[in-house]
Amino acid sequence: MSKQKFEKQYFTEAEAGIYTGLSRETLRLKRQAGTLGYCRFGRKVMYARRHLDALFIAHEKAAEREPRPLRAINHSLN
């Protein structure tokens, strides 16, 4: 799917799954646990982009240490 399609602010469950890469079941579990905001219209559930983005920000984990420097690779065939 093109990036342009995701300029909208609200997503259906299927679109939220594509946008986040999470299954509908995972989205449902996060919603039921209260860790993912949503809007309900009858039986239809919609997710705001800001809530989906906030879910990922809340689960970010910073690196615990500095990356090691890369070693030089010797490409000689001797």
The pLDDT value given to residue 4: 57
Full domain range(s) for residue 24 = 12-58
CA–CA dist 64, 18 (Å, integer): 30
Provide the mean pLDDT of the chain: 86
Has residue 78 been placed in a domain? Answer: no
Has residue 77 been placed in a domain? Answer: no
Has residue 6 been placed in a domain? Answer: no
Has residue 48 been placed in a domain? Answer: yes
Return the amino acid letter for 1.
M
Tally of domains within the chain: 1
pLDDT digits (tens, 9 = 90+) for 9-68: 999 999 999 999 999 999 999 999 999 999 999 999 999 999 999 998 888 887 777 777
Has residue 50 been placed in a domain? Answer: yes
Phi/psi at 50 (5° precision) = -65, -35
Confidence of residue 2 (pLDDT cuts 50, 70, 90): low
Strand partners, 44: 41
Q: Is 2 helix (H, G, I), strand (E, B) or coil?
A: coil
